[in-house]
Structure 1
Amino acid sequence: MSRPAPRALEVIQTRFITPNMLRVTLGGEGILGFPADQESAYIKLLFEQGEGQKPLMRTYTIRNQRENEIDVDFVVHDHPGPAGSWALGAQPGDRILVGGPGPRKLINPAGDWFLLVGDMTALPAISVNLALLPNTAQGTVVIEIASEADRQSLSCPPGVDIVWVVSRNPSSPGEALFDAVAEMPWREGAPSVWCACEFSSMRRFRAYFREGRATDPKLLYISSYWKYGLSEDQHKIVKREDESTVAVL
């Protein structure tokens, strides 16, 4: 089945929800016909590069969806890339081409308890996953953030604990996140695990959930959303190579 053509969406508003997270609301006439129930699905933002060149594509998560709008959250860096620079300068009425949505990646509901792990790039998807858990769910969420002020108020069941981990070393993303997970008490029963973070950190977690804390592969979702020092295009190549290597092991 062919993919739907990208649609032009309009910037409705922008606002910082924490010091390092900027929310852009998109809508306008182009949102008509956008599928419902797509919170946590990914979209592709397309940035034109000039005549004869393919547009740059950057992948983001739908954080919230309303009848005629979607919210997309951007992690703000000191040296933003094309998407971050666009978001920082976006004004109401600006337009951008958006591809997708792609499939949602939700935590497997079959576990005895739930463990969600990620950095700020995964925070939108984690937030949606949390809100979809049944009210009786038990578990732990571990989220790495850039500062204490980047904590967010998240909707989650009363039996789910949220652990915020402040990264003190930006050049070692995921290190504090991994240490926090490795040191946490492990609950009884089989966990459903959802983990998304930086590439090198993802590989460390993958080994941990396969060997250190052996987890049923059917109950494990793990992915890298980015790689330190690389663009998204470069990360895709490294990620593809890694996946092909793992597939033959």
Structure 2
Amino acid sequence: MAKPPVFDLSVERVQQVSRHMRRVTLGGQALEAFPANQASAYVKLLFPQTGSSPLMRTYTVSAQRTGEIDIDFVLHDAPGPAAQWASTAQPGSRLSLAGPGPKKLINHNADWFLLAGDMTALPALHVNLAQLPAHAQGYAVIEVPCNEDIQPLTHPPGLEVHWLINPTPDPEGNPLLNKVATLPWLPGKVAVWAACEFNSMRALRQYFKHQREIEKTHLYLSSYWKLSDNEDGHKRAKQQANLSL
């Protein structure tokens, strides 16, 4: 398999979107070769490391315009390399990325829709909600650390958005599941899209696969991070979970 192309970009702007989210807009001549229409696709950000290969971290393209892409970073009290870089990035800072990878969008061939995620999934949730049919009905459940992280979203008027405030991630991953399980189950075929912390993903996976028995074609579940672990450890945990679930 061919390696994805690498783009050497510069920071055009930075914006504090909410209390715990910072948006970095990247541009530069190299972006002319970046494919169009990649909002919600993932990219690999490359952070230089002294005396070793660059550190690679996976992020979502939250928006794309001519000559620019936005990457949204969740800021933590104990930031990792990516969040630390984002917290100090200024116009003119440099960053390389590889990609893009494929977009993962909810199946539109459904009677209603259920989307769920935590703050790391907000960029992808933005895109999924905005692209739903105008007549779409259903729910979006979004877990964020505080009220100051609630963001405006574009979505069909028939889709209810429920913000779940949780300042401390649950090691068992239950908050998202508990809220989803209280929602009235609508008639007809549902399409589900969910992305969140690893333990939350496992809890939702058990619920959707064993209690709701949703068709594989209409079920997308992914974990974007794992509590108390780095990206490498999270990747290993996902591989093991795919073998056991």
- Matches of 1:203 and 1:174, distance apart in 2: 8
Deviation for aligned residue 1:185: 1.0
**Contact 2:145–2:168, Cα closer than 8 Å, also in 1:** no
Change (3 A) 1:233 1:16: same
* Structure 1 residue identity aligned to 2:60: T
Equivalent residue number for residue 41 of structure 1: 41
**Contact 1:43–1:99, Cα closer than 8 Å, also in 2:** yes
TM-score, with structure 1 as normaliser: 0.95
Equivalent residue number for residue 5 of structure 2: 5
Q: Secondary structure at the match of 1:170?
A: coil
**Contact 2:4–2:100, Cα closer than 8 Å, also in 1:** no
Equivalent residue number for residue 32 of structure 1: 32
**Contact 1:10–1:27, Cα closer than 8 Å, also in 2:** yes
Residues 167-204 of structure 1, C-alpha deviations (whole Å, 9 max, x = no match): 14335474322111011111111210001111111111
- Matches of 2:24 and 2:167, distance apart in 1: 27
Q: Secondary structure at the match of 1:48?
A: strand
Deviation for aligned residue 1:24: 0.4
Q: Secondary structure at the match of 1:54?
A: strand
Equivalent residue number for residue 180 of structure 1: 179
Q: Secondary structure at the match of 1:125?
A: helix
Equivalent residue number for residue 128 of structure 1: 127
* Structure 1 residue identity aligned to 2:26: L
How high is the sequence identity, in percent, across the aligned residues? 51
Deviation for aligned residue 1:38: 0.2
- Matches of 2:146 and 2:106, distance apart in 1: 26
Q: Which stretches in structure 1 are left out of the alignment for 5+ residues?
A: none
**Contact 2:20–2:76, Cα closer than 8 Å, also in 1:** yes
* Structure 1 residue identity aligned to 2:16: F
Change (3 A) 1:176 1:10: same
Q: Secondary structure at the match of 2:53?
A: coil
* Structure 1 residue identity aligned to 2:221: I
- Matches of 1:194 and 1:27, distance apart in 2: 30
Deviation for aligned residue 1:21: 0.7
* Structure 2 residue identity aligned to 1:155: T
**Contact 2:46–2:96, Cα closer than 8 Å, also in 1:** yes
Q: Mapping of 1:55-94 within 5 angstroms? A: 55-94=54-93
Aligned residues: 245
Q: Secondary structure at the match of 2:33?
A: coil
* Structure 2 residue identity aligned to 1:148: N
RMSD across aligned C-alpha pairs, in angstroms?
1.2
Q: Which stretches in structure 2 are left out of the alignment for 5+ residues?
A: none
**Contact 1:32–1:68, Cα closer than 8 Å, also in 2:** yes
TM-score, with structure 2 as normaliser: 0.97
